[in-house]
Structure 1
Amino acid sequence: MDTQTAHSVAHVLIEALPYIQRFAGKTIVIKYGGNAMTEDHLKASFARDIVLLKQVGVNPVVVHGGGPQIGELLKRLGKETEFVNGLRVTDRETMDVVQMVLGGLVNQEIVSLINRFGGRAVGLTGKDGQMIRATPLRDYGAAEGEPSVDLGHVGQVEGVDPSIVHTLDQSDFIPVIAPIGFDRDGKAYNINADTAAEKLAVVLDAEKLFLLTNTPGVLDGSGALLPRLAAPEVDAMIRDGTIHGGMIPKIRCALDAVRSGVNATHIVDGRVEHAVLLELLTDQGVGTLISR
């Protein structure tokens, strides 16, 4: 290694030091999805990030999606999928596939990757330790003013018991959670992963919530990345239409988290290698930080 390269590496490590000191012992909830979950080099990058965070004293909690994987298996089974405002209509057969993919295939792949890079990950669903209690998502309209739509086994979070997550954190394990909720009778529900991550972050008194997505972050009217926003600024951008379409549910999730006690939410581009480390442990970051 030549002197210039050595100095560059040392600068990166020194830049990270105050952030490592600040976040040691803190809980970081990370919603993992999008391209970061489907491309091999990004999956490896994410797993290394999680292992490094745990190694330096941060407590990462991973909540993952799996929509493309669910869609692919349904297609192979010859079952068509219907969406209403971005939510998958989930009948009993589809719910069986959701549990198989989220609670099995995807969850265990993430666990295996983290463990391969030296972590100690444990896969969970909302049923474990009665962690995520759910009720059916009712009165959900196809559009404003239209009749509500029966989404089947799509649920909303009724409550979260974080006991099992605390136990794993204290034993140096890394929880990897599939967003499947269960009602009091044991019936399973498909929960939006962003929502599950937000509810967990609030109950865990997390320092930060990360939402990995397929966009650079929150953009202004000219398409430039906004690295930092306060909640009132975000509200104004929704009102004037700068934030619109599919970004609105994610933004509302971010706002709900910070207004419920999470210190900050980060909307981060999961297509960037090591995006979590770059956003958390560097001065510039790679996404948008939303605070109160």
Structure 2
Amino acid sequence: MNTIDIPAHVKASVLLETMPWLRMYSGQRIVIKYGGHAMTSPALQESFAEDIRFLHQWGVHPIVVHGGGPQINAMVKRLDLDAPFTQGLRVTTPEVMDVVRMVLTGSVQRELVSLINRESIWAVGISGEDGGLLQARKTMAEVDGRKVDIGQVGEISAVDPSPIEDLLAAGRIPIISTVALNADHTGGVLNVNADTAAAAVAAAVGAKSLIVLTDVDSLYRDWPECKQPIERIGLTDARAMLPSLDAGMRPKLGACIDAVAAGVRQATIIDGRQPHSMMLEIFTNKGVGTMVVTDDRAQGDSDE
């Protein structure tokens, strides 16, 4: 349905529902982890860019942290490189690391910045390497009780928010690719998980909210039957659920747990396959997806 065809009273009710949330989030920082199908579908890419522009125009400060798994997979295959996964982590040789940097910062990020800037000049792309934004330490995978070297893969050890603060002060929208400096090797870089990087960034900049776009509509208490979607969950229950999740969802819920434990008010997993799902989450009373909050807020039905 075209918006012209929507009755005036319906438009008015939508605006009235939106206004309290606009006031609540105006001047606040929201970190959005951009990934999944939302970053491979042209239509969803465009709707995401529209949402980011809307947030910025209404005084919200969006900070986008993106991955690029599908694009990296495609380039690795095209170059005929060996990059298997071990315990959900990509084995990252120096050659694969070159591909990761090229795809994340040189391709995925540039496309998103260009989309957002089609009607503005607000978005600026930076890498976790820039200004020492992200630092990480090399991690090992554990297979059958033994440690396995998986190359240039790390876990975030520190975030210096100064580059983000500079961009926000200049009225810009930071678009961050998740390549981190190796804290133990000058000049070295590490491939880090974008979900955990987004959580670390959200905590470092004092974000009000972390939103993680993924390819499911919610977490469920009875997976895989999917009859009981979880709208809101406290930290204790979320931690208890974590081991039961599959390898793809575990870092997303883990990131939400980490962010809320570090002081972010709420962290929500939403379905990035639905156009404008981010706007429904932020600016409607019910919201969408699964929100992780502190235990004392787990039974509430509103943000406040």
- Tell me how far 1:149 sits from its aligned partner: 1.1
- Tell me how far 1:81 sits from its aligned partner: 2.0
Q: Which residue type is aligned with residue 230 of structure 1?
A: G
CA distance in 2, matches of 1:169, 1:136: 30
- Tell me how far 1:170 sits from its aligned partner: 1.5
CA distance in 2, matches of 1:289, 1:171: 31
SS state of the match for residue 176, structure 1? strand
Deviations 1:236-276 (A, max 9, x none): 4447x4x4553222212211110110100000000010111
Indicate whether 1:232 and 2:233 are aligned.
Answer: no
Larger deviation, residues 196-205 vs 117-126? 117-126
CA distance in 2, matches of 1:119, 1:285: 30
Larger deviation, residues 2-11 vs 127-136? 2-11
- Tell me how far 1:4 sits from its aligned partner: 5.9
- Unaligned runs of 5+ residues in structure 2 are 295-304
Contact preservation (8 Å) 2:198, 2:255: no
Give aligned-pair identity as a percent.
43
CA distance in 2, matches of 1:130, 1:254: 24
Question: Counterpart in 2 of 1:166?
Answer: 165
Q: TM-score, normalised by structure 1?
A: 0.94
CA distance in 2, matches of 1:244, 1:70: 21
- Unaligned runs of 5+ residues in structure 1 are none
Question: Counterpart in 2 of 1:179?
Answer: 178
SS state of the match for residue 152, structure 1? strand
Alignment of 1:38-49 (within 5 A): 38-49=40-51
* Alpha-carbon distance change, 236 to 151 in structure 1, aligned in 2, over 3 angstroms: closer
* Alpha-carbon distance change, 119 to 158 in structure 1, aligned in 2, over 3 angstroms: same
Question: Counterpart in 2 of 1:205?
Answer: 206
Question: Counterpart in 2 of 1:270?
Answer: 272
Deviations 1:128-167 (A, max 9, x none): 11111122113x2024x2x111111111112110011011
Alignment of 1:1-292 (within 5 A): 5-118=7-120, 120-138=122-140, 140-143=141-144, 145=145, 147-184=146-183, 185-221=186-222, 222-223=225-226, 224-238=228-242, 241=244, 243-292=245-294
Question: Counterpart in 1 of 2:299?
Answer: none
SS state of the match for residue 150, structure 2? coil
CA distance in 2, matches of 1:238, 1:161: 28
* Alpha-carbon distance change, 137 to 121 in structure 1, aligned in 2, over 3 angstroms: same
- Tell me how far 1:230 sits from its aligned partner: 1.6
Q: Which residue type is aligned with residue 285 of structure 2?
A: D
CA distance in 2, matches of 1:109, 1:100: 13
SS state of the match for residue 63, structure 2? strand
Q: Which residue type is aligned with residue 81 of structure 1?
A: A
Q: TM-score, normalised by structure 2?
A: 0.90
- Tell me how far 1:86 sits from its aligned partner: 1.2
- RMSD over aligned Cα, in angstroms? 1.6
* Greater percentage in strand: 2
- Tell me how far 1:183 sits from its aligned partner: 2.3
SS state of the match for residue 220, structure 2? coil
Contact preservation (8 Å) 1:29, 1:200: yes
- Tell me how far 1:3 sits from its aligned partner: 8.8
Deviations 1:181-227 (A, max 9, x none): 01251111111000110100111111001111000121121413221
CA distance in 1, matches of 2:78, 2:139: 27
SS state of the match for residue 60, structure 1? strand
